[in-house]
Amino acid sequence: MSRVFWGPDPETCTEWAENPGFTWVNPLVPLMESPFTEAFRELMAYVEKFPDGASLYEHLESAYVRLFVNTLEGISAPLNQSCYEAPDAPVMGPPAVAMKERLISAGLIMGENIHEPPDHLSIQLEYLYFLLDKALKMENRRALIEASTFAGDIMSPWVSIFSDKLSAETNCRFYPLCASALCAMLNFISVTLAGEKDPAELHES
Q: Any idea how long the chain is?
A: 205
Among 2-6, 94-98, 112-116, 120-124, name the one with the lowest average pLDDT: 112-116
Domain spanning 2-204: CATH 1.10.3480: yes
What do you get for the CA distance between the two ends of the chain, in Å? 21
Give, as one character, the DSSP assignment of residue 74: -
Residue 29's pLDDT band, with cuts at 50, 70 and 90, is low
* Mean pLDDT, range 174-201, rounded to an integer: 79
Q: How does pLDDT run across 113-164, given as a tens digit for each residue?
A: 788 999 999 999 999 999 988 887 877 788 888 999 999 999 999 999 999 9
Q: What pTM was computed for the model?
A: 0.86
State the average pLDDT for the chain: 84
